[in-house]
Amino acid sequence: MGEQPLISVILAIYNVDPYLAKCLDSILCQDYKNLDIVLVDDGSLDNSGKICDAYAEKDARIQVIHQKNRGVSGARNTGVAQAKGKYITFVDPDDYVCPDFISFMYELLCKYHAQIASCGAINIQPSGRQIIVDTDRSVHVMDKHEALERMCYNDGFYITLWDKLFDAKLFSDVYFPEGKLFEDTGTTYKLVFKADTMVACCEPKYYYITRAESITTSFFKRSKLDYVEMAEQMGDDIVRVYPDLKPAADRKRLHAYFSTLCQLVNSSVYEKDVVQMLTAKIKTVRKSVLKNKRTPRRDKFAVVSLIFGFRFFSFAWKVYERIWKN
């Protein structure tokens, strides 16, 4: 591989002391050794900050920044500002990675002269069930048009940050949206716009832990409408540059609308205004996604179910989920 360039690994840390040691141990065990490990303690109220400091005393590659709580985006912005590496990757502090997580993506970057590389993941459910996110092991080399299209369809190249290695230069004028949830959706596509070549191979190298209380799985809160805002902005920006990707952008918007609506299905409070707003938005893309051969059958099922009203949709979706989980 020759001389290894410095790679920064950024962790935005807040109240994760039960999981942090396992995550850090997996990073320290990487077979790629030239690492700049940036731990941003975002005002944790538990022992996370102390754990960071203890690990920094044992390994000179670790730098720790303690700051007042600014949220995940604020912590990541701090991490990027402090990063010294030629390349940057992100790991969520309650997840963990394979020993070749970084070397696998670095080799892809080098071989295909890319600025962004991505790997696959294994999703560990609260029940302990392990789901391989993508079983395709092919290598896909993409320009930005194809990469953006695949992101919209969740097709082998995803919106997530934690499965990627980035050329650090891409972050020169890109910042995570502070005060917002679903910051990956609002940021990753902007980095793709700045890159020339992306490469993806979904060989699983990252263990993504879904916890019952996580942002993406817990019950509805109005702050989760941030996903709708981010997906709409992403869609608008993509279509502005690539009008032919409107069907793909509509599918991304639909995913945001239904992901949010499905959380209302399990909510104890009926948010009538939110249901009406999301239903109206779904109508604007309904024709497009139903005609689109690349729209997943699950999405089409949801669109058709909603035609008969939210109550019918709620019943149909619960039945669908029960069948899918079994």
213-243 per-position pLDDT tens digit: 654 445 677 888 999 999 999 999 999 999 9
2: left (phi over 0), alpha (psi -120 to 50) or beta: left
pLDDT confidence of residue 215:
46
Q: Which percentage of the chain shows pLDDT scores above 90?
A: 79
Domain residue ranges of the chain, discontinuous segments joined by +: 7-209, 222-325
Neighbours of 127 (CB within 10 A): 9
Half-sphere exposure of 309 (CA within 13 A, CB side): 2
Helix runs in 62-130, H state only: 71-82, 101-112
**pLDDT below 70 — which residues of the chain?**
1-2, 213-219, 268-269, 324-326
Calpha distance 207→121 (Å, rounded): 6
d(CA 191, CA 248): 18
Q: Which fold has domain 7-209?
A: Spore Coat Polysaccharide Biosynthesis Protein SpsA; Chain A (3.90.550)
- The string of pLDDT tens digits covering residues 78-97 is 999 999 999 999 999 999 99
Angle at 66 between CA 62 and CA 72, to 5 degrees: 95
